[in-house]
Amino acid sequence: MAGRIQALIRVTKHIGEQVAKPLRRGDGPNKFRLSAMDTATTTYEGDDGWAKRPPAILECPRCGGEIPQHNSRDDIDCPHCVAEFGYREFPDLELKHLTCPVCRSEMTHGQRHPESFDIVEWATCNACRYHWEFKHSYS
């Protein structure tokens, strides 16, 4: 009886070694997988051009409420009062933030040429790395 148990232990130990060996050999492929992941994080999603501008939240100059504008060509209608603006009036309104079209987070936005354009020129999502760029055509 004791001999059988010892044999069983010997077999279990043997199997253990068999499993451990491929795991140890896995160090190489694991490193490769890590570098592949690094590559994936540097290629983020993004768009450029005013037509592809992410949805915006503007401040209503009449009531101070938030006006959502789903895309750059939508009319800007305040849902809280009677104020209505055309999309061309976008630069005259106070931009609160842009909304990430991928994950709906609030985006960080800014300007690159505040001396020549009074308009948002880039926006980045810190949550999913989506990036939007105005990309002016310089002449």
CA atoms of 98 and 50, how far apart (whole Å): 13
> Of 100, 120, 131, 134, which lies in the binding site for Zn ion, with binding defined by CB under 5 A?
100
Binding residue (CB under 5 A) for Zn ion from 8, 84, 103, 117: 103
- Under the binding rule (CB under 5 A), the answer on residue 63 touching Zn ion is yes
CA proximity to 95, closest of 85, 103, 138 = 85
Size of the site for Zn ion (CB under 5 A): 16
Shortest separation between residue 107's beta carbon and Zn ion, angstroms: 7
Q: Does 60 bind Zn ion (CB under 5 A)?
A: yes
Q: Give yes or no for residue 125 binding Zn ion (CB under 5 A).
A: yes
| Buried b or exposed e, range 50-62, using 16+ CB within 10 angstroms | beebbbbebebee
**Residue 132 makes contact with Zn ion by CB under 5 A:** no
Task: Give CA 87 to chain center in angstroms.
Answer: 25
Instruction: With both helix axes pointing from N to C terminus, report the angle between 2-25 and 27-42 in degrees, rounded to the nearest 10.
Output: 40
Residues that bind Zn ion (CB under 5 A): 60, 62-63, 65, 78, 80-81, 83, 100, 102-103, 105, 125, 127-128, 130
